[in-house]
């Protein structure tokens, strides 16, 4: 069993530390509002020109946002449904977005979204101005008002990874024949990826509501996960491993179950997106209303530090801007828990200083 770290009351800043080889870690510094007028933005993925595709969960609308903050509507995801609004306590709709690593050749983008029969992963083409050729790649992922997972990213191996929640049916997380409560791994055409541990889509299991995926430079996969009442988790994902839900929330001593690398009281996190930058994982916190910076050294996580606590409200997604030492952070203050008027969400740009942009 790997010992986990329970985060108590971490500070709001720290002195810079070093990575192996005396590379300096960066520090989050100045924050500016890059774009306003959003309503529950959720997924973000980069296009080769440095602009980003961003989707709104409830409206199913996709937008292109440039680094200058120019926002362009490009289309709506077909067949997407959502119950979420300012008056409905729900977390379904258009969730993760992933631009094909071969976009210059195939012009594919991938989305995970809720439909009438459940959650699904679909592919569309984007010619630089409009969406088309909607194709369902994987369906049959059970849905519920909550616990739909939804993060979608291509890994360094070229395969597509997706997080799925237990759809509030906790027994599904331990059922390796179910697509729920899992991290899935598939080809760009929607087939189970070669080398998956169970000859299926399932890459890891025993997850409650996994929300974030990020790879470090050594190719290790890290995942953030929303707990129930006690502990949220940061996990290091290994293929075929069982991460314990529902028998374990946080660390436990059950045989065959993998403990998290760090845990938080749910009041301090309710994590969503994560990203790696300069030796640290950055984790967006919804209920915790802060950006967590977690140093990582190999396969171990150090002491997390909270930044911007309470300053920008609920944080949903964080991604590093390619080629720049900055992060983009999406707020989620217009959902049911945020209770802010439609159009109140923002895209924030966070400057990282003192690092080497590793």
47-72 pLDDT tens trace:
999 999 999 999 999 999 999 999 99
- Beta pairing partners, 27: 353
* CB distance 112 to 162 below 8 Å: yes
Average pLDDT, the chain: 92
For the segment 90-116, the average pLDDT, to the nearest whole number, is: 96
Count of helices and strands (H, E) across the chain: 1, 28
Q: CA-to-CA distance for 151 and 77, rounded, in angstroms?
A: 16
For the segment 139-146, the average pLDDT, to the nearest whole number, is: 95
Length in residues, the chain: 358
What pLDDT band is residue 354 in, cutting at 50, 70 and 90? confident
Q: CA-to-CA distance for 24 and 18, rounded, in angstroms?
A: 5
For the segment 184-207, the average pLDDT, to the nearest whole number, is: 98
Confidence (pLDDT) at 45: 98
Percent of the chain with pLDDT over 90: 89
Does the pLDDT at position 238 exceed 50?
yes
SS3 171: helix
SS3 10: coil
The CA R_g of the chain, rounded to the nearest whole Å, is 19
Confidence (pLDDT) at 169: 98
Q: Is 129 exposed, middle or buried (0-12, 13-18, 19+ CB in 10 A)?
A: exposed
- Beta pairing partners, 212: 224
Does the pLDDT at position 10 exceed 70?
no
What pLDDT band is residue 17 in, cutting at 50, 70 and 90? very low
What pLDDT band is residue 326 in, cutting at 50, 70 and 90? very high
* CB distance 357 to 278 below 8 Å: yes
Confidence (pLDDT) at 90: 84
Confidence (pLDDT) at 85: 65
Return the sign of the alpha-carbon dihedral for residues 276, 281, 282, 287: positive
Whether pTM > 0.75 for this model: the answer is yes
Does the pLDDT at position 230 exceed 60?
yes
DSSP string of 20-65, one letter each residue: TTTEEPPEEEEEEEEEEEESSEEEEEE-TTS-EEEEETTT-EEEEE
For the segment 138-157, the average pLDDT, to the nearest whole number, is: 96
Confidence (pLDDT) at 83: 84
Chain-centroid distance, C-alpha 33: 21
What the chain holds in terms of domains, given with CATH numbers, is 17-353 (2.120.10.30)
Contacts by 339-346, CB closer than 8 A, 24 or more apart: 339/86, 340/313, 341/86, 342/39, 342/86, 343/36, 343/37, 343/38, 343/39, 344/38, 344/39, 345/36, 345/38, 345/39, 345/40, 345/41, 346/33, 346/34, 346/35, 346/36, 346/38, 346/312
SS3 67: coil
Does the pLDDT at position 307 exceed 60?
yes
Q: CA-to-CA distance for 200 and 347, rounded, in angstroms?
A: 37
Q: What is the pLDDT of residues 23-52, one digit of tens each?
A: 568 999 999 999 999 999 999 999 999 999
Confidence (pLDDT) at 22: 42
Does the pLDDT at position 14 exceed 50?
no
């Amino acid at each position: 069993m790997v010992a986990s770290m329970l985060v108590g009351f971490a500070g709001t800043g720290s002195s810079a530390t070093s990575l192996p080889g005396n590379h300096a870690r960066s520090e989050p510094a100045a924050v500016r509002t890059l774009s306003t007028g959003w309503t529950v933005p959720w997924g973000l993925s980069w296009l080769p020109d440095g602009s980003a595709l961003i989707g709104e969960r409830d409206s199913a609308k996709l937008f292109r946002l440039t680094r200058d903050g120019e926002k362009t509507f490009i289309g709506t995801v077909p067949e997407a449904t959502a119950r979420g609004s300012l008056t409905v306590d729900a977390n379904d709709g258009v969730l993760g977005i992933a631009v094909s690593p071969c976009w210059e050749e195939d012009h594919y983008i991938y989305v995970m979204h809720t439909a009438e029969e459940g959650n699904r992963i679909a592919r569309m083409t984007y010619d630089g101005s409009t969406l088309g050729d909607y194709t369902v790649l994987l369906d049959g992922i059970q849905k519920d008002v909550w616990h739909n997972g939804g993060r979608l990213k291509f890994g360094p191996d070229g395969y597509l990874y997706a997080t799925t929640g237990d759809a509030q049916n906790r027994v599904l997380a331990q059922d390796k024949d179910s697509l729920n409560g899992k991290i899935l791994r598939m080809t760009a055409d929607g087939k189970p990826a070669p080398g998956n541990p169970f000859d299926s889509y399932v890459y890891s299991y025993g997850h409650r509501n996994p929300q974030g995926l990020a790879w470090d430079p050594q190719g290790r996969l890290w995942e953030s996960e929303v707990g129930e009442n006690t502990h949220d988790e940061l996990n290091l994902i290994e293929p075929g491993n069982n991460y314990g839900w529902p028998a374990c929330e946080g660390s436990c001593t059950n045989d065959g179950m993998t403990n998290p690398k760090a845990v938080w009281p749910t009041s301090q996190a309710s994590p969503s997106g994560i990203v790696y930058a300069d030796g640290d994982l950055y984790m967006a916190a919804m209920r915790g209303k802060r950006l967590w910076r977690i140093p990582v050294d190999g396969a171990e996580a150090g002491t997390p530090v909270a930044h911007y606590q309470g300053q920008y409200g609920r944080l949903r997604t964080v991604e590093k801007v390619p080629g720049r030492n900055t992060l983009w952070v999406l707020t989620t203050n217009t959902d049911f828990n945020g209770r802010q008027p439609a159009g109140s969400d923002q895209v924030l740009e966070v400057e990282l200083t003192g690092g080497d942009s590793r």
